[in-house]
Copies of this chain bind each other. A is one copy, B any other.
């Protein structure tokens, strides 16, 4: 019996997590942000950065690596300031060096702006072209710099005005934390595509991508930043500027996979939505089986929901090795063939001779599912029924999630029956689109589910890609 080596590359990749802190007379906000970024680490493991403001002067430190690798006590000691913003970025290849890490810092006639961005613009190409035509000069290859530059460019007297003007130009997804020489600002795009929440500290405020970061920092949740809203925090307190928002369409995939289950986004608990999805899935896609297991860790809540609804007992069926980190030596092809597999080990006792329902949160390419099904059979499963707690992914995402291009999406062109055969399952069932909406308490409004239905809330008029500007 062998266990399974799963690279994470079969899952969509969230682009980033952002954070912002403003707390009067607390010179150690960077320490708090460090813990907040660790709570958001699941949103990005490639690079981490913090910009702090002290006496109006902004200092930035960022590097490739996990939060706990990038920062040590010595560096945090150098990052004194009563305000800061932070950023974690997802893992890509080794070719994207530290230049593209965030926060970004731009300096212009009225001061300095630091910016951290989660999301993806869809008109970056044309906006940047236009800015370049006007003579603007960039120093990175990422779309986030466009936002920082536009804000600086639009600044006259009031930062809110500058941001409003910027938001009229840029299209796409952005949850931003921004720091000027005086203020901390949070911005959520007009559709609310990416999440951003506001919390309260004893003597200040916090902005973060998810509520789990508030919990970790001991901050009290106030509310979600609204689509199109600009929240400005300075020594006079907090104020809000509401731009003319579009219809809210927050990313439904946050609930399915990205967000931490202990987070609450726009009033909906991530954990609860996943458990409900599992329940609905059980109704829509029942199975004659002896046990329900999950693909750890993201499939767990849905599997529990499935088990509850179906009455089939829930069990642990795959054990995950938690010691496989970044320095781990990948097994060579040769070694892999002799059976060295590591990440997931089937728990034979829970599986042998049983009819298994295995619940996963999503299938993107299908290669991992195939390995898991095979491993379960090797461990003695009589039948393997794969249940997916989201619909078939048919369209690429342009808003900050690194899904494969359409050609790679197994669901884009393949009938479910064919996918079932490909992964070797006895049966395969997806959650319906309606079921997904129900799991997040929706009747069809309020969410972007373009990856499932192709209805993009913003017209996609150009090829867009976070790193498009690298190719020049």
Contacts and interface: CB of A to CB of B under 8 A. Distances in A.
Nearest to A135: B153
A316 B301 contact: yes
A350 B275 CA distance: 10
A32 interface: yes
Nearest to A350: B271
A106 B140 CA distance: 7
A442 to B, nearest CB: 17
A328 B38 contact: yes
Contacts of A62: 98
A138 B106 contact: yes
Contacts of A152: 137
B109 A340 contact: no
Interface in A301-326: 301, 304, 308, 313-316, 319, 321-325
A42 interface: yes
Contacts of A219: 339
Given A137-B152, A340-B217, A260 B335 contact: no
Contacts of A129: 109
B335 A32 contact: yes
Given A2-B215, A308-B313, A322-B322, A72 B327 contact: yes
Interface stretch (A53-61, A158-166, A188-196): A53-61
A90 interface: no
Contacts of A138: 106-108
A99 B109 contact: no
A269 B317 CA distance: 13
Interface stretch (A341-349, A422-430, A454-462): A341-349
Nearest to A153: B135
A218 B341 contact: yes
A73 interface: yes
A139 to B, nearest CB: 5
A19 to B, nearest CB: 13
This chain: how many copies in the complex?
4
A402 interface: no
A57 B349 contact: no
B338 A1 contact: no
A39 to B, nearest CB: 6
A95 B107 contact: no
A100 to B, nearest CB: 10
A272 interface: yes
Interface in A341-366: 341-342, 345-350
A135 B60 CA distance: 23
Interface string A238-264: 000000000000000000000011101
Most chain B beta-carbon contacts within 10 A, residue among A74, A76, A137, A148: A137
A73 B216 contact: no
Contacts of A109: 129, 132-133, 135
Interface in A95-133: 95, 97-99, 104-109, 111-112, 129, 132-133
A329 interface: yes
A453 interface: no
A297 B316 CA distance: 11
A470 interface: yes
Interface string A70-101: 01111010100000000000000011011100
Most chain B beta-carbon contacts within 10 A, residue among A68, A104, A139, A328: A139
4 tightest A-B CB contacts, nearest first: A218-B339, A109-B132, A269-B349, A41-B323
